[in-house]
Amino acid sequence: MSGALTEGTIADEVEVIVVCNGCSDRTAEVARRFGGPVRVIETKTPGKHNALCLGDAAATGFPRFYIDADVVVTPDSLRQMAERLDRGGLLAVSPQIQWDLDGASWAVRAFYDIDRRLPSHRETIGGSGVYGLSQTGRHRIGTFPRLTADDAYVRRCFRLHERAAVQGAVSVVTPPKTIAGVITIKTRSHFGNYELSRRFPRLNRNIGASNHATLVRLAARPRLWAGLLVYCYVKVVARLDARRQMRRGQSLTWQRDNTSRVRATP
């Protein structure tokens, strides 16, 4: 990821902070090899919340972008999002999602074929693994709460007219290769949304468009029925699993999907 972020940039254009939170692999070593604007912070404390707070505290500039380690976004996409924030009117932006489905099973491809047709696919912040905040937007967030769905929390902190997916800006996301892996990440997503609604109900007004009406329209197209069956199966199972864990008072730990890891080499 660090290579994609720094390739083709000019001096002092970007500041890249890589937070290795309890990593047992060579992430820190590889990241340091990029040199230049890349700084590495290592912590023995696992979990995204701690990494998010450490990286944010070390950052100095705005607009500020928060990027998951397993997505790819280029400097050109960051520039487009930064320019959109600089024009004013928006406080939070994200890129559009491009799924890398190379090697994915038929069922996974069918699921994401339906997913890309839905309003939630075009929603900002969440799924793309990247979001950017202006200085005013960052101040609104305050201290990042310890939540499963940190990106959903950030999205709901802004009204629809204050956030946008920037046309032309893209992040490449590699989903799991198996449908079991998709169910796992969707369970985590639903669990995070339930947790967020319970703890911050006032933010529910900023959730955004529902997928239900679009799904009904897609059901009128017979060639999409197989994909719709896969999509509905994944969503139902994930919702049931998430609700079961929520009722039991369980918390979800971050689960690494090794089938979709992006390896960076300097």
Residues 71 and 36 in one domain: no
Nearest in space to 254 (alpha carbons), one of 108, 31, 49, 99 = 49
For residue 260, pLDDT beyond 60: no
Range of the domain at 140: 62-260
* Burial of residue 249 (number of CB atoms within 10 Å: 0-12, 13-18, 19+): exposed
* Strand segments (E) across the chain: 16-21, 38-43, 64-67, 71-73, 92-99, 130-133, 163-173
Residues 86 and 170 in one domain: yes
Residues 146 and 168 in one domain: yes
Residues 243 and 128 in one domain: yes
Out of 61, 84, 105, a domain closes at 61
Residues 33 and 71 in one domain: no
Q: Does residue 265 form part of some domain?
A: no
Residues 173 and 159 in one domain: yes
Out of 11, 43, 61, a domain closes at 61
Residues 214 and 192 in one domain: yes
Residues 54 and 89 in one domain: no
Q: Does residue 79 form part of some domain?
A: yes
For the stretch 29-52, pLDDT in tens is 888 887 778 889 988 888 889 999
Counting the structural domains of the chain, the total is: 2
For residue 211, pLDDT beyond 90: yes
Q: What is the mean pLDDT of residues 163-174?
A: 94
Q: Does residue 155 form part of some domain?
A: yes
Out of 61, 79, 100, a domain closes at 61
The secondary element (H helix, E strand) that includes residue 38 is: strand 38-43
Calpha distance 173→129 (Å, rounded): 7
Of the listed ranges 10-14, 150-154, 157-161, 256-260, the least confidently predicted one is: 256-260
Residues 82 and 201 in one domain: yes
Calpha distance 191→170 (Å, rounded): 27
Residues 165 and 73 in one domain: yes
Q: Does residue 266 form part of some domain?
A: no
Tokens of 223: 């060639």
Q: Does residue 81 form part of some domain?
A: yes
Residues 180 and 85 in one domain: yes
pLDDT band at 118 (very low <50, low <70, confident <90, very high): very high
Residues making up the chain, counted from first to last = 266
For the stretch 194-208, pLDDT in tens is 999 999 999 999 988
For residue 255, pLDDT beyond 60: no
Q: What is the pLDDT of residue 215?
A: 96
For residue 151, pLDDT beyond 90: yes
Residues 234 and 126 in one domain: yes
